[in-house]
Amino acid sequence: MTIQVHEKLDAKGLACPMPIVKTKKAIGTMEPGQVIEIQATDEGSLADLKAWAKKAGHQYIGTNREDGVLVHYVRKSSGEEEQDTSFERTVSNEELKQKLSEDVQVVDVREPAEYAFAHIPGAVSIPLGELESRLSELDQAKETYVVCRTGSRSDLASHQLTDNGFTNVTNVIPGMSEWDGETKNNNE
Amino acid sequence: MTVTMWNASDVAERVVNQRPLFILDVRNEDAFADWKIESPSFEYKNVPYFDLLDGVEELVTELPKDKEILVVCAKEGSSEMVADMLSEEGVDAAVLEGGMKAWSEHLEPVKVGDLPGGALYQFVRLGKGCLSYMAISDGEAAVIDATRMSDVFVKFAEEKGAEIKYVFDTHLHADHISGGRTIAEETGAQYFLPPKDAEEVVFDYEPLKDEDTMQIGSVKLDIQAVYSPGHTIGSTSFIINDEYLLSGDILFIDSIGRPDLAGKAEDWVGDLRETLYSRYRGLSDNLMVLPAHFMDMKEVNEDGSVKRQLGKLLEENHGLNVKDENEFRRMVTENLPPQPNSHQEIRETNMGKITPDTERKREMEIGPNRCAVRG
Mutate to test the interface with A, among B30, B32, B50, B97 (most CBs of A within 10 A): B50
A44 at B interface, C-beta within 8 A? yes
A104 at B interface, C-beta within 8 A? no
Taking CA atoms, what residue in B is nearest to A14? Answer: B77
Does A87 lie in the same domain as A58?
no
| Nearest by CB: A52 against B30, B50, B363 | B50
| Nearest by CB: A16 against B53, B75, B363 | B75
Does A85 lie in the same domain as A172?
yes
Mutate to test the interface with B, among A45, A48, A55, A72 (most CBs of B within 10 A): A48
Length of chain B equals 375
Does A84 lie in the same domain as A167?
yes
Cβ neighbours, 10 Å, residue A158:
27
B83 at A interface, C-beta within 8 A? no
Last residue of a domain, one of A75, A100, A117: A75
Q: What is the pLDDT of residue B263?
A: 72
**Looking at the 3D structure of chain A, how many domains does it have?**
2
In sequence order, the β-bridge partners of residue B44 are: B23
Annotated catalytic residue within B24, B69, B73, B306: B73
A1 confidence band (pLDDT: 50, 70, 90)? low
Check which CATH number belongs to the domain holding A163 and give it: 3.40.250.10
B371 is catalytic: no
**Yes or no, beta carbons of B28 and A15 under 8 Å apart:** no
Taking CA atoms, what residue in B is nearest to A19? Answer: B50
Taking CA atoms, what residue in B is nearest to A25? Answer: B53
Q: What is the pLDDT of residue B375?
A: 54
Q: Would A184 be classed as within a structural domain?
A: no
Q: What is the pLDDT of residue B296?
A: 87
- Rounded to whole angstroms, the Cα distance separating A49 from A60 reads 8
ipTM: 0.83
Does A162 lie in the same domain as A112?
yes
Whether the per-residue pLDDT at A136 is higher than 90: the answer is: yes
Taking CA atoms, what residue in A is nearest to B79? Answer: A17
Q: Would A188 be classed as within a structural domain?
A: no
Range A63-79 average pLDDT:
93
Q: How far is CA B249 from CA A46, A58, A142, B132, B194, in A?
A: 33, 45, 66, 12, 14
Does A139 lie in the same domain as A66?
no
Q: What is the pLDDT of residue B138?
A: 95
Annotated catalytic residue within A16, A21, A51, A141: A16
Query: Is residue B106 classed as helix, strand or coil in its secondary structure?
Result: coil
Q: pLDDT (tens digit, 9 = 90+) per residue, B149-188?
A: 999 999 999 999 999 999 999 999 999 999 999 999 999 9
Q: What is the pLDDT of residue A83?
A: 75
**Yes or no, beta carbons of B28 and A21 under 8 Å apart:** no
Dihedral sign, Cα of residue B139, residue B140, residue B143, residue B147: positive
Range A43-59 average pLDDT:
94
The CATH code of the domain at B107-373 is 3.60.15.10
Q: Would A187 be classed as within a structural domain?
A: no
A52 at B interface, C-beta within 8 A? yes
Q: Would A50 be classed as within a structural domain?
A: yes
Whether B107-373 and B3-102 are alike in CATH topology: the answer is no
Q: Would A1 be classed as within a structural domain?
A: no
Q: What is the pLDDT of residue B283?
A: 96
Q: Would A160 be classed as within a structural domain?
A: yes
Q: Would you kindly state where each structural domain of chain B is located, as residue ranges? A: 3-102, 107-373
Does A148 lie in the same domain as A104?
yes
Q: Would A183 be classed as within a structural domain?
A: no
Cβ neighbours, 10 Å, residue B53:
18
Q: Which residues of chain B have pLDDT under 50?
A: none
What is the residue range of A147's domain?
A: 80-178
Taking CA atoms, what residue in A is nearest to B80? Answer: A17
Q: What is the pLDDT of residue B338?
A: 81
Least confident range of A54-68, A76-90, B112-126, B285-299: A76-90
Does A87 lie in the same domain as A174?
yes
Does A115 lie in the same domain as A169?
yes
A16 at B interface, C-beta within 8 A? yes
Does A172 lie in the same domain as A122?
yes
Q: What residue ranges in A35-152 does DSSP mark as E strands?
A: 35-40, 59-66, 69-75, 90-92, 105-108, 124-125, 144-147
Q: How far is B78 from chain A, CA to nearest CA, in Å? A: 5
**Yes or no, beta carbons of A47 and B75 under 8 Å apart:** no
Q: Would A39 be classed as within a structural domain?
A: yes
The CATH code of the domain at B3-102 is 3.40.250.10
Does A69 lie in the same domain as A12?
yes
**Yes or no, beta carbons of B53 and A21 under 8 Å apart:** yes
Check which CATH number belongs to the domain holding A42 and give it: 3.30.110.40
Per DSSP, B178 falls in state B
Q: What is the pLDDT of residue A153?
A: 96
Task: Identify all chain A residues contacting B363, using CB atoms and an 8 Å cutoff.
Answer: 43
Does A163 lie in the same domain as A88?
yes
Does A56 lie in the same domain as A143?
no
Range A99-108 average pLDDT:
96
**Yes or no, beta carbons of B28 and A51 under 8 Å apart:** yes
